[in-house]
Structure 1
Amino acid sequence: MRDATALAVAALALAACGPTTDQVAAPETAKDALRVCFAENDPPRSRRGGDGFDTDVAREIAAQLDRRLVIVWLPEEEQTDIESTDADYRPLLTGQCHLQLSVPGAAAVERYRGWLVLSEPYYGAAFELVPADASFRFGEPYPETIAVRANSVAHLALDATGVRWSQQATNEGILGALADGSAAAGLVWGPHLALLDVERNADFEVPPVLRWNL
C-alpha cells in the first residue's frame, strides 16, 4: 500500500443516544452498548438493511470489547457546494455515537483535537479515474470536463487545480455524465467501484491528496 495520510476510526465517549438506531445481536455476556454511526447508503462500507465491510469491522470491535453493538444510521445529506470536507463529525461530538469509521486522517479532525481520538489505519483506498481509457493526469493540461461527486475531496482537488469539473450528486450521475458526453472522465472513490459497471484506469497516478490508509 502506498504511503498516505491515515484514515481510521474516530472515537468519543459521550452518553447521549441517537434517535435512529438498530440493535445488532451480540453475546449474552455483552454489557454496555457500543454505538457506532454509519451512513444509511454508503456501500460497500455500510448500507441500511444490507451488509458492509465497516459494519463488519464494528461487529468485531464490539465483540472484542464484549459490548452490545448499536448502529446509529445517519441520513444521506445532499451536497450542493464545495466545503472543506464531506465528513460529518457532529454525531460524535454530540454523543449520538461512540465510534465513526473510515475517518480521513488526523488533518481532517485537527480542529477537534482533545475531543476525538483516532485508531491506527485499517485499510487503504484512493479515488480512481474512469473509464479505463481516460487520459487525465493531475499537473497536466486537460481540455475536457471531469465528473466528480459534489463536495468530495476529489471535487476540491479539481477545483484547486483549475480543471473544469461537472458536479454530480451520485456515482451513477458520474457514469451518466460519461454516457451523455458531458464529461470525458470521472473520479470515483475506489471502494465504490465494486458497485459500478465501469473499469478504472489502472495507470492513473493518484496524487497523495486523493489516497489514504483508513
Structure 2
Amino acid sequence: MPAWGKPARWGRRSLLAAATLAAVLPGPGRAQVADLVSPTALRVCADPADPPLSDKAGDGFENRIAVLMAESLGRDLQYTWFPMAQGFVRRTLSAVQCDVIIGYAQGDELVLNTNAYYTSAYTIVTRADSDLHDVTTLEDPRLKGRRIGYVANTPPGTHLARLGMIPDAQSYDLMVDTRRYHPNEDMLADLAAGRIDAGLMWGPIAGPLAKGYDGKLVVTPLIHETAGPRLFYRITMGVRPGEDRWKRTLNSEIRKLQPQIDRILADAGVPLLNDDGTAAKALPAP
C-alpha cells in the first residue's frame, strides 16, 4: 500500500525515516500546517512504476481511487512521482510536493493516518494444478521441505523462520528501484515455471498480478496463523502530521465513497477482509 507500513511494499515505507516539517518549511513565518494543502488540486505522492498499485499510465488501483477522490472533491488530480525506495516520504510528502499518499498501513508513525478504507493480508500463492493449491496456513505439513518464495524482511519470513523453513526458502529483495526491478512479478514467474512451489506475497499485490495467469494461480489469504506476527493490515491514506483538518476531509470522502472504493479494489483482485482480518469482507452485488 504506499501501500509504508508493515506489508511487502508497505514494509519498505516502515524502513524509511521522514524528515521533519521544520526542515522543509521556510523560517519564522512558516505557514500553518493546514495551509500547506492545495485548495484546488488533489496532489498525490506515488510511485511511477509500481503496478498493480500505481504507475504513470494510471492503470493501478490506487490511481483509480485517486481519480475517484479528486472527482468527488472537485479538484484537479496532480501527481508527484518518486520510486518507493529510500527517501520517498522525505522527498514527496514531507517536502510539501504533494498532500496525500493513497495507500499507507495504519499505525505507521511517518505519516498521519486517515481512517482505514480496506483491510487485507499476506497470501500464499500456489499453482492450481499443485498438491498445495488448497493450503490455507503456513503450518500445513505439506509445506515442509518445499521451496517457498517470500520477500525479505517482511512478516512471512518471520513465520518461515519460526517453522524452520528458511533453509529451503527463496528470498526476493524488498528495497528496490521499481523502475528497474520487480521482485513480486519475478516471484510469480518463478512459481508459474515451477522454480518455486509457493509464494508468500502481500495480497493487494498478489491478487491483481495473479489475474494475469488466467486461473493458473491460486491466491489464499493467510488468516489462520496461530502465532505472530500478524499478517493482516488496515490500509489508510497518509498525510503530514498535524494536518487534522485535511485528514477529516479525506475521512468524510472515504465514508461517502466506500462502496465505489470497494468495487475498485475487488475488480482489481485485491483480497478484502473484514476489519478484524478474520474472514473475507462481504460485498454487495455489483
Range class of TM-score, shorter chain: 0.5 to 0.7
TM-score, normalised relative to structure 1: 0.64
CA contact (8 A) 1:37 1:71 kept: yes
Structure 1 residue 166 and structure 2 residue 170: aligned?
yes
Cα deviation, 1:118-141, whole Å, max 9, x if unaligned, reads: 111112322221214424733466
- Provide structure 2 residue ranges, at least 5 long, that are not aligned to the other structure: 8-20, 25-37, 174-182, 236-286
- Provide structure 1 residue ranges, at least 5 long, that are not aligned to the other structure: 8-13, 17-29, 78-85
Structure 1 residue 194 and structure 2 residue 208: aligned?
yes
CA contact (8 A) 1:36 1:72 kept: yes
Task: Tell me the C-alpha RMSD between the 2 structures.
Answer: 3.8
Q: Which residue of 2 is the match for residue 148 of structure 1?
A: 150
The number of residue pairs the alignment matches comes to 180
Task: Call closer, same or farther: CA 1:147–1:137 in 2, change over 3 Å.
Answer: same
Task: Call closer, same or farther: CA 1:178–1:51 in 2, change over 3 Å.
Answer: closer
Q: Which residue of 2 is the match for residue 19 of structure 1?
A: none
TM-score, normalised relative to structure 2: 0.50
Q: Which residue of 1 is the match for residue 112 of structure 2?
A: 117
Q: Which structure shows the higher strand fraction?
A: 1
Q: Which structure shows the higher helix fraction?
A: 2
Name the CA distance, whole Å, in 2 between partners of 1:87 and 1:200. 35
Task: Indicate the structure whose relative CO is greater, using CA pairs within 8 Å and at least 6 residues apart.
Answer: 1
Written as runs of structure 1 = structure 2, the 5 A alignment for 1:25-174 is 31-75=39-83, 77=85, 88-90=88-90, 91-106=92-107, 109-110=108-109, 112=110, 116-131=111-126, 132=128, 133-134=131-132, 135=135, 137-139=137-139, 142-159=144-161, 162-164=164-166, 165-169=169-173, 170-174=183-187
Q: Which residue of 2 is the match for residue 178 of structure 1?
A: 191
Once the two structures are TM-superposed, the CA of residue 99 in structure 1 deviates from its matched residue by 0.5
Q: Which amino acid aligns with 1:143?
A: G
Structure 1 residue 209 and structure 2 residue 211: aligned?
no
Once the two structures are TM-superposed, the CA of residue 47 in structure 1 deviates from its matched residue by 1.7
Name the CA distance, whole Å, in 2 between partners of 1:6 and 1:178. 24
Once the two structures are TM-superposed, the CA of residue 159 in structure 1 deviates from its matched residue by 4.4
